[in-house]
Amino acid sequence: MSIKYKPHYHKLLLLVIITLCIIFISLIEQPLTLYQQTFFSAIICLAVLLINFGKGRFITLFLMGIGILISSRYIFWRISTTLIWDKYPDIFFSLTLLIAEIYAWAVLLLGYFQVCFPLNRESLPLPADPTHWPSVDIFIPTYNEPLSVVQNTVYGALAMNWPEDKITIWLLDDGGREAFCRFAEETGIRYVARSTHEHAKAGNINHALTLAKSEFVAIFDCDHIPSVSFLQRTMGWFLADEKLAMMQTPHHFFSPDPFERNLGKFRQKPNEGHLFYGLIQNGTDTWNASFFCGSCAVIRRKPLDEIGGIAVETVTEDAHTSLRLHRLGYSSAYLRYPLAAGLATETLSAHIGQRIRWARGMIQILRIDNPLLGKGLQLSQRLCYLSSMMHFLSGVPRLIFLCAPLCPIFFSVGLIDATVTDIMSYVLPYLFIVVLINSRIQGKYRHSFWNEIYEMVLAWYITLPTLVALIAPAKGRFNVTAKGGLIANKYVDWQISYPYVIFAILNLCGLIAGIIQVSELNGEAALLKTICLMWLAYNTIIIGATLAVSIEQKQVRVSPRIEVVFSGHLLLTNGTRNPCSVIDFSEGGLGITLHGGVDNRNIEKNKPMTLYLHTGDEECAIPVEIVHAFKNKIGLKILPMTHKQHIDYVRATFSRDNLWSDWHNNLPRDKILKSFLTICWVSLKGYYQFLLFLISPMKKK
């Protein structure tokens, strides 16, 4: 077995990091004259720029070290030199900004620690004899989702490559719906409905645990369709490591989230969750700190029973359950390949509601089961959990950074006690180096400056829930994220977007006022105000992009079309069997291209035909009819199918092996300047579209 999978390897890496931090402390405090600092910053920036052309993990780690050094030296300078102590209210604004910067610095360092050495775990083979494979219960919890969303997940579970006598599928219906019970009976799976509904999803799963008896339990949200090889790819590690309690895989979405749909960037940019599932979970796996995310995971039953089942004290029951397993000395694992796929949230309001729940829950854990305290965790695990929880405290610092450049313009207060030369020699190198290094580390998973949009959208809404959770962690309840809806018309959700509109107006007014003030000043004062204006202009760009996200675009398909390329055969009405390639599919239809010469006389619309889809050495027959045809491109509608045909169709499409991995592999890497220019363009479109929505009622009058 490779050394990177040895359980104590991370201890050596942790020791190296601690040693380097001790060395850095002496460099951080080293006093330099202004001339020396300027020269030092210029040399460091040039060195980082050149070193960044190098490849390999060692180069990345070396650049991380430089990032830690420069950011820590910047924070030391801010604390020791730049606070305004002799004026009021300047001291309040100056100290508030510094606290926000210290938070950002701490998150940066913890983030570096989490991802410094991604484990890149691979699957382990199972025994050749399937009789030695363990038994697994498949849990599919549902509450108010439509059957059309849930049934494909059930079909995907039925299609999994696992011995039938070693797998039991449970539909956990907290809605107690007759149609779901009937569907479960028809498909031969177990149906469970509780008479009471305490503790929401966690309680639903815990109730099922009293009935299920297998050695392992795999949990899928009701819209997450597993691949046929899900258990084959994940279960090998459990047989190799008796202390392994949980294996998590990515949450992959085959529909666009609100950012992707409203900005038109679906499959062009990494989505919001790609950084977490592509890099952070992979990095925390090195430290044995990857955690359960509520779906697409396998848990060993014995340790789950030892901790009393899924945690119910917080609304993020998944992460809390992992923390308890880690406290008992059990290990976790993360397999970075997407082995299931589901529906993303359709609207920005639903997305924000989901993130509010996550934020509240993580802060609840921080308060009632603080990972820094208590027994059972290693230092590395404590730091990884702390990093994940601190991420959700970003609302207050983000609002501070948003309001800070407005204060000198509207209230004539100072933020830092520094000259323009000081700012040029400390602030600019710090920002340049952090952006460059983050682009190198995260470039495959998140493009530069896009995190600003994601955090800006959430900042206003997660601030109050997280502060309340810090003070009163018992408050707050679980909310279910709606999936599978439609958006008939383009519209602005004014209830969601009003904070962004207010901030946009404040920033635009601040820019105008600031330009007037600069024209009336000269020398150092004018330059300092100009720097403030540049910060304000940047915030204005991000707010414009946030406005663009809040304009909901149409979504007229219940089931999205998924672009693919795999082979099949279409049996035409004249009995000829034409080879074809499937170019897209959905729940209700497919698009194909026929190979070779096609006689249009044989392309009869609205006539029952059979499409044969190939999956490895097997093929399945799907009843279809042609609804439109242009040359060799044909649109097919799927005719009513039996449950067996549904299972076969899902096996050949949604559950197709390795289908989703190509999506991530084909995404472009980050290019910093291009990314910034893209955001500028998105911002301009956001302001323009919002202006159109504002003046359209006036035109009607």
Choose the weakest-confidence range: 325-329, 539-543, 548-552, 676-680: 548-552
pLDDT value of residue 63: 92
pLDDT value of residue 5: 45
Taking residues 116-132, report their average pLDDT.
93
Distance separating alpha carbons of residues 88 and 416, to the nearest angstrom: 13
Distance separating alpha carbons of residues 47 and 339, to the nearest angstrom: 41
- Give me 311's structure tokens: 């945690």
Distance separating alpha carbons of residues 125 and 26, to the nearest angstrom: 48
Q: Is 305 exposed, middle or buried (0-12, 13-18, 19+ CB in 10 A)?
A: exposed
Quickly state the pLDDT bin for 600 (edges 50, 70, 90): low
351 has pLDDT over 80: yes
Mean residue pLDDT across the chain: 89
pLDDT value of residue 521: 83
pLDDT tens readout for residues 269-314? 999 999 999 999 999 999 999 999 999 999 999 999 999 999 999 9
Higher pLDDT among residues 665 and 189, named by residue: 189
611 has pLDDT over 90: yes
pLDDT value of residue 16: 65
Distance separating alpha carbons of residues 586 and 39, to the nearest angstrom: 59
pLDDT tens readout for residues 323-340? 999 999 999 999 999 999
Quickly state the pLDDT bin for 701 (edges 50, 70, 90): very low
pLDDT tens readout for residues 476-499? 555 555 555 555 567 788 888 889
pLDDT value of residue 335: 97
Choose the weakest-confidence range: 63-77, 129-143, 498-512, 656-670: 656-670
Quickly state the pLDDT bin for 475 (edges 50, 70, 90): low
Higher pLDDT among residues 559 and 360, named by residue: 360
Higher pLDDT among residues 490 and 609, named by residue: 609
285 is catalytic: no
pLDDT value of residue 204: 95
595 has pLDDT over 90: no
pLDDT tens readout for residues 51-106? 999 998 889 998 998 999 899 989 999 999 999 988 888 899 999 999 999 999 99
Dihedral sign of CA atoms 547, 550, 554, 557 in order: positive
Taking residues 233-248, report their average pLDDT.
96
372 has pLDDT over 60: yes
27 has pLDDT over 60: yes
Q: Give, in order, the Cα–Cα distances in Å from 698 to each of 238, 502, 643, 695.
A: 64, 20, 54, 5
pLDDT value of residue 682: 95
Higher pLDDT among residues 41 and 387, named by residue: 387
257 is catalytic: no
Distance separating alpha carbons of residues 286 and 178, to the nearest angstrom: 46
Question: Which position among 318, 369, 648, 670 bears the catalytic label?
Answer: 318
pLDDT value of residue 551: 87
Whether the Cβ atoms of residue 116 and residue 61 lie closer than 8 Å to each other: yes
pLDDT value of residue 606: 77
pLDDT value of residue 20: 64
Question: Which position among 137, 174, 223, 670 bears the catalytic label?
Answer: 174
Torsion, Cα of 338, 339, 340, 346 (10° steps): 10
Percent of residues, the chain, with pLDDT higher than 90: 66
- Give me 540's structure tokens: 């204005």
pLDDT value of residue 479: 55
pLDDT value of residue 60: 93
Whether the Cβ atoms of residue 223 and residue 157 lie closer than 8 Å to each other: no
pLDDT value of residue 3: 38
544 has pLDDT over 50: yes
